[in-house]
Structure 1
Amino acid sequence: MSSPRKTSPGKRMTAGLLVMAGLLLVREFAPESPIAIAALIIGLIALLIIIPAYFRALLSSRRDR
């Protein structure tokens, strides 16, 4: 059996930031559509991923010193 994968906080931050950038483009080019509302909700979820990953990365880098 293989061991479960662990995603590093840096990869989570990068993925979340890419999602946020894509969603900002949707909001820019389709501001009045229902897709823009969905993009806003998905963007908030992405922020919920980015912020804890940032703090985990910050704390792990301080522990490594």
Structure 2
Amino acid sequence: MTRRLHDVIGVDTGGPGGRRLGEAGHSGAEYLKFKDLVVRMLDYDPKTRITPYYSLQHNFFKKT
């Protein structure tokens, strides 16, 4: 069975299995930022893969 990263992370459910639903920092927007970062880190092509430096500059790590 194949599962999408979107579902594994729990973007629409408030975390994996909905365990964090309603907690601070666990909004759908935060999970989308996290998913974007993970996808960029897993890019197969090293020329387009996000670097450690730019990973730390990603919106996921910025306080809102």
TM-score (norm 1): 0.36
Larger relative contact order, structure 1 or 2 (CA cutoff 8 Å, min sep 6)? 1
- Greater Cα radius of gyration, structure 1 or 2: 1
